[in-house]
Amino acid sequence: MRVVASCLCGGVRFTLPGPVGDITACHCSQCRRASGHFAASFDIEGDIDYVVLETLGTYETPKGAMRGFCTRCGSSLWFRDVDGEVSVEAGAVDGLTGSRLTSHICVDDKGDYYDIDDTKLAESEYGAQGPEVSL
Ligand SMILES: [Zn+2]
Ligand SMILES: [Zn+2]
């Protein structure tokens, strides 16, 4: 089963191996800037296959990871870490994901204007930056 995902304007549409896995919210400053709030994404195993590839843009982060987005509508689409692992933004999935948000990472770096009032365990990817927060 392939899951379909796309940007807001339809300039980028792709499929990925399903089903959608557990969704992780990342509160780091890069994800907050890229998404406008915080990112919610899931890891995929296997490759993205593009159906429409008119407006895909990529941005290389300072650490060498890559973000895929639409150059026309600005939608955040995927993130490829330096180790090659790819995650896809949950909001890009067409229709129902059939999955759940199960964890929060980089919570020490979250914005100051919201609380994570989630009953799920929050874990910090960078534990040295502060105490882990259990919510
Ligand atoms: Zn677009
Ligand atoms: Zn992040």
- Please report, for the domain that includes residue 110, its CATH number: 2.170.150.70
The predicted structure's pLDDT at residue 65: 96
Query: Which residue range(s) make up the domain with 98?
Result: 2-129
Chain-wide mean pLDDT for the chain? 89
Nearest ligand to the CA atom of 32: 2
Ligand 1 center to 128 CA (angstroms): 37
**What confidence tens digit (pLDDT) does each residue in 70-128 have?**
999 999 999 999 999 999 999 999 999 999 999 999 999 999 999 987 755 555 443 33
Give the number of the ligand closest to the Cα of residue 75.
1
Evaluate whether residue 31 is within a structural domain: yes
User: Strand (E) positions, the chain?
Assistant: 2-6, 12-17, 23-26, 39-44, 49-53, 56-60, 66-70, 76-80, 86-89, 101-105
Per-residue pLDDT, averaged over 4-28, amounts to 97
> According to the model, what pLDDT value does residue 88 have?
98
Residue 62 inside a domain? The answer is yes
- Output the CA 86–ligand 1 centroid distance in Å: 20
Residue-level pLDDT at 117? 79
Judged by its nearest atom, the ligand closest to the C-alpha of residue 30 is 2
CA 33 to ligand 2 center in whole angstroms: 9
Angle, alpha carbons 73-74-78 (nearest 5°): 125
For 77, residues 6+ apart whose C-beta sits below 8 A from its C-beta are 5, 7, 12, 14, 56, 68, 69, 70, 88, 89, 92
- Give the distance (Å) from ligand 2 centre to CA of residue 32: 7
- How far is 12 from 7, CA to CA, in rounded Å? 6
- Using CA atoms, how far residue 54 sits from 11, 42, 75, in Å, is 5, 24, 13
What are φ and ψ of residue 61, in 5° steps?
Answer: -75, 165
Q: Using the mean position of ligand 2's atoms as its centre, give its distance from the Cα of residue 3 in Å.
A: 23
Tens digit of pLDDT for each residue in 52-74?
Answer: 999 999 999 999 999 999 999 99
Asked whether residue 135 is domain-assigned, the answer is no
Could you give the number of structural domains in the chain?
1
| Cα distance between residue 98 and residue 51, in whole Å | 22
**Ligand closest to the CA atom of residue 52:** 1
Identify whether 134 is part of a domain.
no
The percentage of residues in the chain with a pLDDT greater than 70, rounded to a whole number, is: 87
